[in-house]
Structure 1
């Protein structure tokens, strides 16, 4: 697996395809739902880490990876893949909050 730190924040092609397919209004509504879902997954992952539940950590990281990839958040998806497979786990966990916040901010601010 490639290093998540080398991934761009967002895949503008994915966002462009979604925006074209469903229109600007629907995309804006969908984006809000994605942000909410991503925030819930991020919280659940943190709770799984805090409780030491490694199965829940992997499952939640997998869900976070898919949700991030579906909306074009490449860096977050790649970091979640590391969390899911426990690849470079300490580094990925250390950066999770900042990468997550950066991805959400980029998504919320995307108007192109």
Structure 2
């Protein structure tokens, strides 16, 4: 099992910090935008990866890592970090990890 798979999907401490900073109503509104952004980054990564554009794939993985980290999605961020380093053996799992992370985020 890779290190990213050992990470929790959601870091509740990070979520609590965000909620404390912006308030629950604003955080709830932000979640939709984060999900849209994360989905776009995953899609763009997939297109670049399948097209053999390693530079673009790594750039999208880097952006995905940052966006996921900002909202406390630890497993997604850790997988994105692996992809950014070019370790793409688990690239096919990215969409499923995103979906699981989104479910956890929406329940927060």
**Runs of 5+ in structure 1 lacking a partner?**
none
Partner of 1:34: 34
The superposition leaves residues 87-112 of structure 1 with CA deviations (integer Å, 9 ceiling, x where unpaired) of: 3x21x2132121111011111122xx
CA RMSD in angstroms comes to: 1.1
Shift >4 Å, 4+ stretches: none
What is the TM-score with the length of structure 2 in the denominator? 0.94
Partner of 1:109: 107
Cα distance in 2, alignment partners of residues 24 and 97 from structure 1: 27
**Runs of 5+ in structure 2 lacking a partner?**
none
Cα distance in 1, alignment partners of residues 105 and 57 from structure 2: 24
Task: State how 1:32-111 maps to structure 2 within 5 Å.
Answer: 32-87=32-87, 89-90=88-89, 92-110=90-108
- SS state of the match for residue 52, structure 1? coil
The superposition leaves residues 48-88 of structure 1 with CA deviations (integer Å, 9 ceiling, x where unpaired) of: 0121100000000000000000000000000000000023x
Alignment length (residue pairs):
107
- SS state of the match for residue 49, structure 2? helix
